[in-house]
């Protein structure tokens, strides 16, 4: 039995953050019903990446919304609103990511839902919290990265702000909401009490940076300084970074500089000490190291370093990764199939329970695909 | 808050470094009692991994950040008496986490098969670098190495840059959320079925899951590799113009997705030249450069005043000085003070979960190695 077997999630959310939380709940065994607006549905259906269209929707939509059902309902229409209420009455979890105030105006806010369903777990994601000067701002990933100082952590010192090239604030916010929902479902299973759960993208963006934030306040409020070359973390000493070799790249994590000097045959490195100096003089160290690593291919360096238990790795792209046995053994990709028989490949849930990978063959729903089925279940 | 969801639960944390202990912090903030099982003397490895070489009260500042709100029990797993005590603790525990390399827990007899014999209702949760099998099973599971092996480093920065890692331990942290979810789901299942369970996550699977949108695009678009922009500041290899960061007269600003023709018109370019929406991706680099040449002419505030009223998704690029002074941030109450054992204080973050209208604060400092041995013996081992 999957942990959430028999549970129903009614999901009003769009884009990435909320739908990511419900994807996880679906993979853990819940039935997820997406409530979508007539015409366009979840706006993410049209959020194309590299202009790729797959069976009428964006690849991103297919990745986020597999293993779910879709019902089209107009939240402002009286008859449709009644259907929403009938769904909410039987829901174990409800979630949305509208801006603060929207659900209150529509009448589906927590206080109202709790009246008809006292043990519901009601989850919401906001951009910037439920009050304050930013509530009306769009809760969008790049804007949150930029606002919270995150863009000064990646890339080299001279490159200006560098965004992290994925919607990671969305993903952490969605993941955090999922955790909070699970914790409250656990409490409900023991105590039969519902819960109101909220996570903001703003808090989640700060939380991802908790190491850097704590350092900033303890260390005299100095801004993070990226190294001039091979930066991989503004707060870590040399050699931490990625270096060019004769035929590719090499990643080096934490390690002793003089030891590296000896192993790599680079005498200039042996004069540096670890700790304080490896941090303060990391630009010089990285420059020397970078020039030296250029003289031989990646495999040559890996052979020497791995034998000495140094934390190092090759740098792969997706082609070399997906061809590698270490990737294949994970069985991380799965083939899913939509209601109309269209099949596509995507990733599976990254969590294993009792030795089993959590997979599901159900693809994403067409807009309104399950209206008929759900109406029949509700009204016969 | 009263009645935290995990109140009454006992978590034994054998995990070290970041991913496992971050999950432990989440569970602690949700109300569980989390006890770190540490080797006597040096304690867990994370105590010695410092950022900016900063140590506080004998352990790294990072350690203090990740391990507040926990207790420490020092025990030598190779000593028979100590091991017996640990087994006694396990008998009373709800959750056990570790991130040892495959084989280590087997050697001391604390692998899942043995532990479930001691306590069939336990949730046994492990973090590995790359799973338990395959050619990388014994490779060091470290954030930057997993970023490099998983393809993640080809998504940020510009085409001409070579690999650009994300400048935070994002894989560790994402893996921690997966571990937390797995443990919570298994606890829920236990509440429904009275059965314990095994939860396994790995850094590599978490790094792949983090890329699930773009990997799904990759395996369905003829396996093309990500094509980062040549324009400095571009924000995402797969998204159309104008997505990125732009230099202004006094700093930088961000533009997210939007109607390129409308934005062009607003910043003083001819909207007519940008009507064809399919070109927003195919001509992305060119459009970014054309926008950059206009946006450098005015200050960030001037541009935002023009763009925001039109509903265009834009915002400032702050540094920490500026961000932490903003009312919008201060009002969140996201920071809390933790008084350390040496009397000095630490400003750190609180939990992100808001439950029943309340944020979860917990200002108890990280423990010293073995600090709670006496009270733990009293609570669990005396009878």
Q: Phi and psi at residue A258, in whole multiples of 5°?
A: -60, -35
Q: Cβ B252–A160 below 8 Å, yes or no?
A: yes
Please indicate if any CB of chain A lies within 8 Å of the CB of B155. yes
Please indicate if any CB of chain A lies within 8 Å of the CB of B380. no
pLDDT, position B53: 84
Nearest to B220 by CA among A50, A325, A161, A231: A50
User: Sheet harboring B358-359: ordered strands across?
Assistant: A69-72, A31-36, A8-11, A93-96, A121-126, A195-200, B354-355, B358-359
Structure token digits, residue B183: 């443990």
CATH 3.30.1540.10, chain B: domain bounds? 244-325
d(CA A91, nearest CA chain B) in Å: 17
pLDDT, position A51: 78
d(CA A83, nearest CA chain B) in Å: 27
Q: Cβ A221–B136 below 8 Å, yes or no?
A: no
List the single best residue of A17, A315, A360 to mutate versus B (max B Cβ within 10 A): A315
Which among B165, B209, B324 has the least Cβ separation from residue A350?
A: B209
CB pairs below 8 Å between A and B: how many?
468
- Please list the alpha-helical segments (H only) found in A294-331: 298-307, 318-322, 325-328
Please indicate if any CB of chain A lies within 8 Å of the CB of B382. no
Structure token digits, residue A16: 């990435």
Q: Cβ A354–B165 below 8 Å, yes or no?
A: no
Q: Cβ B164–A189 below 8 Å, yes or no?
A: no
| Gap between the terminal Cα atoms of chain B | 32
pLDDT, position B50: 86
Please indicate if any CB of chain A lies within 8 Å of the CB of B103. no
d(CA B61, CA A279): 15
Q: Please tell me which residue of chain A has the smallest CA distance to B124.
A: A354
Which among A59, A155, A317 has the least Cβ separation from residue B216?
A: A59
Which among A133, A180, A207 has the least Cβ separation from residue B355?
A: A180
Judged on CB neighbours under 10 Å (0-12, 13-18, 19+), A193 is: middle
pLDDT, position A92: 98
Q: Which residues of B touch A204 (CB under 8 A)?
A: 352
Q: Phi and psi at residue B315, in whole multiples of 5°?
A: -175, 170
CB atoms within 10 A of CB A101: 12
Helix or strand holding residue B200 (H, E): strand B197-202
d(CA B81, nearest CA chain A) in Å: 30
Which among B52, B237, B281 has the least Cβ separation from residue A165?
A: B237
Q: Which residues of A touch B184 (CB under 8 A)?
A: 179, 182-183, 185-186
Q: Which residues of A touch B188 (CB under 8 A)?
A: 3-4, 182, 185-186, 189
Query: Is the CB of residue A368 less than 8 Å from the CB of residue A70?
Result: yes
> Tokens 């532990």 correspond to what residue?
B115
In chain B, % of residues over pLDDT 90: 97
Q: Please tell me which residue of chain A has the smallest CA distance to B325.
A: A148
> Tokens 């879709």 correspond to what residue?
A70
Question: CB under 8 Å to A254, separation ≥6 — which residues?
Answer: A236, A237, A240, A311, B49, B142
d(CA A285, nearest CA chain B) in Å: 15
Nearest to A23 by CA among A36, A49, A4, A38: A4
Query: Is the CB of residue A154 less than 8 Å from the CB of residue A164?
Result: yes
**Three-state secondary-structure class, residue B33:** strand
Assigned CATH for B244-325: 3.30.1540.10
d(CA A108, nearest CA chain B) in Å: 17
Q: Cβ B357–A196 below 8 Å, yes or no?
A: yes
Structure token digits, residue A84: 């929403």
pLDDT, position A50: 77
What are the per-10-residue average pLDDT scores of chain A (380 residues)?
97 98 98 97 90 91 98 98 98 97 97 98 98 96 98 98 98 98 98 98 98 96 97 96 98 96 97 93 98 98 97 98 98 98 98 97 98 97
Is the pLDDT assigned to residue B202 strictly greater than 90?
A: yes
Question: Cα B366 vs. chain centroid, distance in angstroms?
Answer: 19
Q: Cβ B149–A141 below 8 Å, yes or no?
A: no
Assigned CATH for B10-210+337-381: 3.40.50.10540
Task: Return the biggest CA–CA distance within chain A.
Answer: 81
CATH 3.40.50.10540, chain A: domain bounds? 8-208+330-379
Q: Cβ A235–B149 below 8 Å, yes or no?
A: no
pTM over 0.95: yes
d(CA B93, CA B82): 16
Query: Is the CB of residue B67 less than 8 Å from the CB of residue B25?
Result: yes
**Three-state secondary-structure class, residue A70:** strand
d(CA A4, CA B190): 11
Interface of B with A in 248-267 (CB under 8 A): 252-254, 256-257
Average per-residue pLDDT for chain B: 97
> How many residues in chain B?
383
d(CA A13, nearest CA chain B) in Å: 17
Q: Phi and psi at residue B143, in whole multiples of 5°?
A: -50, -55
Task: Determine if the peptide bond prior to B162 is cis (ω within 30°).
Answer: no
Which among B52, B334, B353 has the least Cβ separation from residue A235?
A: B52
d(CA A314, nearest CA chain B) in Å: 6
d(CA A221, CA A213): 9
Assigned CATH for A8-208+330-379: 3.40.50.10540
Structure token digits, residue B383: 């009878």
Q: Cβ A223–B213 below 8 Å, yes or no?
A: no
Nearest to B334 by CA among B306, B301, B361, B355: B361
List the single best residue of B46, B153, B216, B226 to mutate versus A (max A Cβ within 10 A): B216
Q: Which residues of A touch B147 (CB under 8 A)?
A: 251
Predicted complex ipTM: 0.98
Interface of B with A in 187-206 (CB under 8 A): 187-189, 191-193, 197-202, 204-206
* Model pLDDT for residues B149-186, shown as the tens digit of each residue: 999 999 999 999 999 999 999 999 999 999 999 999 99
Structure token digits, residue B108: 């001391």
Give the β-pairing of A249-252 and A241-244.
Answer: antiparallel
| Gap between the terminal Cα atoms of chain A | 28
List the single best residue of B353, B356, B363 to mutate versus A (max A Cβ within 10 A): B353
Residues of B serving a catalytic function are 172
Give, as one character, the DSSP assignment of residue B381. Answer: I
Question: CB under 8 Å to B2, separation ≥6 — which residues?
Answer: none
Long-range contacts of B79-86 (CB under 8 A, 24+ apart): B83/B108, B83/B109, B85/B377, B85/B381, B86/B37, B86/B110
**Half-sphere exposure of B326 toward its Cβ, with a 13 Å CA cutoff?**
20
Q: Please tell me which residue of chain B has the smallest CA distance to A357.
A: B200
Q: Please tell me which residue of chain B has the smallest CA distance to A309.
A: B140
Which among A159, A186, A240 has the least Cβ separation from residue B144?
A: A240
Is the pLDDT assigned to residue B102 strictly greater than 90?
A: no
Q: Cβ A171–B318 below 8 Å, yes or no?
A: no
pLDDT, position A96: 98
Architecture of domain A241-322: 2-Layer Sandwich (3.30)
CATH 3.30.1540.10, chain A: domain bounds? 241-322
Structure token digits, residue B107: 């050697």
pLDDT, position B369: 98
Task: Determine if the peptide bond prior to A225 is cis (ω within 30°).
Answer: no
Give, as one character, the DSSP assignment of residue B378. Answer: I
CATH 3.40.50.10540, chain B: domain bounds? 10-210+337-381
Q: Cβ B148–A313 below 8 Å, yes or no?
A: yes
Is the pLDDT assigned to residue B10 strictly greater than 90?
A: yes
Query: Is the CB of residue B102 less than 8 Å from the CB of residue B128?
Result: yes
d(CA A134, CA A262): 54
């Amino acid at each position: 039995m999957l942990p959430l077997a028999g549970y129903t999630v009614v999901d009003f959310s769009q884009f990435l953050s909320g739908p990511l939380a419900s994807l996880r709940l679906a993979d853990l065994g819940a039935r997820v019903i997406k409530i979508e607006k007539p015409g366009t549905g979840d706006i993410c259906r049209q959020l194309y990446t590299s202009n790729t269209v797959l069976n009428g929707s964006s690849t991103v939509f297919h990745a986020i919304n597999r293993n779910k059902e879709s019902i089209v309902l107009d939240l402002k229409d009286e008859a449709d609103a009644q259907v929403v209420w009938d769904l909410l009455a039987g829901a174990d979890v409800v979630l949305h990511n509208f801006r603060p105030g929207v659900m209150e105006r529509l009448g589906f806010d927590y206080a109202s839902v709790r009246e008809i369903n006292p043990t519901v777990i009601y989850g919401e994601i906001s951009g910037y919290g439920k009050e304050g000067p930013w509530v009306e701002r769009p809760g969008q990933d790049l804007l949150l990265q930029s606002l919270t100082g995150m863009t000064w952590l990646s890339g080299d010192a001279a490159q200006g702000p560098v965004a992290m090239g994925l919607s990671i604030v969305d993903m952490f916010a969605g993941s955090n909401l999922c955790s909070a929902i699970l914790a409250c479902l656990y409490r409900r299973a023991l105590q039969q009490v519902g819960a109101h759960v909220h996570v903001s993208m703003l808090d989640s963006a700060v939380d991802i940076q908790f190491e850097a934030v704590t350092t900033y306040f303890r260390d005299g409020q100095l801004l993070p300084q990226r190294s001039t070359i091979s930066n991989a973390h503004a707060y870590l000493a040399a050699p931490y970074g990625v270096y060019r070799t004769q035929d590719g790249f090499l990643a080096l994590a934490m390690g002793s500089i003089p030891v590296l000097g000896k192993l790599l045959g680079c005498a200039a490195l042996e004069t540096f000490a670890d700790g304080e100096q490896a941090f303060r003089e990391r630009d010089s160290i990285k420059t020397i190291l970078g020039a030296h690593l250029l003289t031989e291919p990646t495999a040559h360096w890996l052979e020497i370093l791995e034998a000495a238990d140094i934390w190092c790795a090759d740098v792969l792209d997706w082609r070399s990764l997906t061809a590698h046995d270490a990737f294949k053994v994970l069985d991380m990709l799965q083939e899913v199939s939509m209601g109309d028989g269209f099949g596509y490949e995507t990733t599976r849930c990254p969590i294993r329970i009792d030795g089993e990978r959590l997979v599901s063959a159900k693809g994403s729903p067409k807009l309104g695909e399950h209206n008929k089925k759900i109406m029949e279940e509700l009204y016969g | 808050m009263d009645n935290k969801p995990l109140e009454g639960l006992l978590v034994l944390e054998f995990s070290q470094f970041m991913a496992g202990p971050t999950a432990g912090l989440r569970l602690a903030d949700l109300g569980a009692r989390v006890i770190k099982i540490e080797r006597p003397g040096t304690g867990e490895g994370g105590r010695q991994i410092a950022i900016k070489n900063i140590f506080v009260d004998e352990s790294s500042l990072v350690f203090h950040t990740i391990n507040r709100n926990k207790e420490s029990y020092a025990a030598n797993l190779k000593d028979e008496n100590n091991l017996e005590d640990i087994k006694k603790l396990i008998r009373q525990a709800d959750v056990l986490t570790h991130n040892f390399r495959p084989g280590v827990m087997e050697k001391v007899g604390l692998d899942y098969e043995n532990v479930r014999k001691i306590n069939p209702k336990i949730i046994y949760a492990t973090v590995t670098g790359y799973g338990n099998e395959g050619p990388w099973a014994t490779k060091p599971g470290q954030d930057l190495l997993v970023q490099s092996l998983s393809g993640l480093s080809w998504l940020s920065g510009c085409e001409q840059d070579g690999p650009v890692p994300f400048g935070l331990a994002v894989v560790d942290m994402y893996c921690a959320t997966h571990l937390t979810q797995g443990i919570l789901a298994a606890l829920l299942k236990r509440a429904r079925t009275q059965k314990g369970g095994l939860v396994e996550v790995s850094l590599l699977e978490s790094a792949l899951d983090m890329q699930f949108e773009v990997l799904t695009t990759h395996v369905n678009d003829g396996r093309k590799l990500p094509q980062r922009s040549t324009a400095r500041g571009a924000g995402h290899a797969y998204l159309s113009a104008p997505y990125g960061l732009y230099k202004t007269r006094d700093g930088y600003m961000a533009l997210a997705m939007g109607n390129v023709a409308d934005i062009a018109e607003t910043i003083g370019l001819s909207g007519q030249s940008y009507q064809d929406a399919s070109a927003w991706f195919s001509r992305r680099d060119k459009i970014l450069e054309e926008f950059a040449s206009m946006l450098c002419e005015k200050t960030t505030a001037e541009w935002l005043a023009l763009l925001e009223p039109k509903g265009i998704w834009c915002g400032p690029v702050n540094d920490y000085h500026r961000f932490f002074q903003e009312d919008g941030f201060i009002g969140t109450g996201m920071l809390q003070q933790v008084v350390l054992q040496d009397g000095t204080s630490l400003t750190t973050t609180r939990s992100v979960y808001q439950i029943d209208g309340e944020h979860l604060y917990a200002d108890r400092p990280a423990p010293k190695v073995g600090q709670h041995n006496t009270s733990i013996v009293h609570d669990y081992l005396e009878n």
